[in-house]
Structure 1
Amino acid sequence: MTKKYNVAVVGATGAVGQKMIETLQRRNFPVNKLKLLASAKSAGKMLNYKDELIVVEELTEASFEGINIALFSAGGSISEKYAPYAVDSGAVVIDNTSHFRMKEDVPLVVPEVNPEDIFTHQGIIANPNCSTIQMVLSLKPIADHLGLKKVVVSTYQAVSGTGKKAIEELKEQSSAFLNKEKYTPKVYPHTISFNLIPQIDVFEENGFTKEEMKMINETKKIMHDAKIQVNATCVRVPVFVGHSESVYVETEKPINVEELRGLWEKFEGLKLIDDPKEQLYPMPRNSEGVFDTMVGRLRKDVNSDHAASFWVVADNLLKGAALNAVQIAEKLISN
């Protein structure tokens, strides 16, 4: 019989938490007992898992007794406080927040890119930023076969990356705009409907936002290459689900477009959609609920044989969060 595991989901009522539950079911993860944890405000709610209603419990220091794997997605301060209790109880924590990502003793993992790092954990494994995950998936074959020198990325990130309140804000603002009604933004500093906001998270002293610095620093850690030059501009767009990225790379070896397409087609977790004649390319509208990260619009730079540009799209709640966490758990138990 396949061994089964007791799994806890922290932040179970949030957008990512619910996707974690859904993904455990879709991938038939060997769950023995599923424990759903959230704040006292959400305790008592009922969530469905495999046609069974499970009561959401209040997260406490004693919540992790008997738990083997704890999936956290309830905010950095919650992970900071409660992840150590989970580890002390014998669980392996897979944390979706930014709190542990850049700590030296915590592996930062995208399973298709650096699976070996999973097994260096000391109780906690970090899930990277959503926009970083889909980008490094596309970069890994390039780095392995062509040598990666420089990456310049502009992101077009969906509001679901901020959570349920942002999704509702986009709906309400869009309705208000179309009906010529006034609406005061609550989640974002500016109106998001029919608009673009070139700010995700707070600004750092260097002029980059925290989100942009996450992409820069996390990419280097995941790829085990501090020499890669990474520059990011992160933009919030009025899309519900699906982050899109325009990526420019410079490589050590000359780029052959057909060869790179072939590398992407063979790489686990990537789906090539690149047929300009038929106007086929990745779009966020087509990413929702899809496990694969989609790549397309590949073209060699007009000025250099060592540079190219392309387009990357993924469901930010899945591969950008819940799916990646569950895949880490799958790799973990496979050993």
Structure 2
Amino acid sequence: MTLPPSFDPARALALARETLNIEAQAVIALAQRVDVSFVRAIELVLGIPGRVVVMGMGKSGHIGRKLAATLASTGTPAMFVHPAEASHGDLGMITGTDVVLGISNSGESEELTAILPLIKRMGVPLLAITGRRDSTLGRHADVVLDASVDKEACPHNLAPTASTTAQLALGDALAVALLDARGFRADDFARSHPGGALGRKLLTHVSDVMRVVADTPSVGPDAGLMDLMREISAKGLGMAAVVDAEGRVVGIFTDGDLRRLIEKTGSGADLRALRARDVMHPNPRTVRPDALAVEAAGLMEASRITSVLVVDDQGRLLGALNSNDLMRAKVI
């Protein structure tokens, strides 16, 4: 690989630090300027029954797409409409129950300003995130959020850098304030992200991943030790539940218990006379089928066990869950 002769590693590092400092200062300045207009913007969005329709051109459009996605995933229905496409039919996507959020640093993006009179004529409220309150976008807007910056991080003060960072931060602040006002919780977020790690943790219940009772090793209290071991081997869970005549769990016996029993009694001892009730651990750890799988994982970790029995409200055996089941479901 041949590097251009103008490349200077020291200058690259200096520019990186300067860029980060300029953009950080732009965001800090935003925090100091947030005022009653921000509250009015929140009230306006909360007061409409429809969606937030986000619009922006160029780099502001990229920020707008991200903001629409963030709003939609945090409880505020939103969509992005490209201003140029709006002039050619997509304006029909906007209804009288919506609010439009226009994003433009200059406030003079031609494709956006061309449709502002039409939006106002429809009676649709208009929010603006702009660096110029006195711009065409600012004058048309019902509420203006000031995203102005002192300068861009670009050495030529041309490429949108600090200004788009300010737009992004202000949009995120809007989304966070809205989700809080709506009482949006972590499980609500999970329902919007069922394929993600958080979704799996907050939406997957024990009943979704457990082994059913037919696949769970179990014996009665009077079963002989050899029958107990055969049941464990046949179903491959490394343990067996001990249940009474009504199917209620009264104990558990594991491979580890067998090793400890042999160490205690000696390898030459005759264990055939032992019954399940003699060797089981009473009152084993159990979970309900409606518990979150991540809660079962926490119980297993805290108790240093690899399997847990699943029971109903009366303590009757319904199945079992082990760490391999949780890993397959990507809960852990």
TM-score (norm 1): 0.29
Q: Between Structure 1 and Structure 2, which shows a larger proportion of strand residues?
A: 1
Larger Rg: 2
Q: Between Structure 1 and Structure 2, which shows a larger proportion of helix residues?
A: 2
The one of the two structures with greater contact order (alpha-carbon pairs below 8 A, sep at least 6) is 1
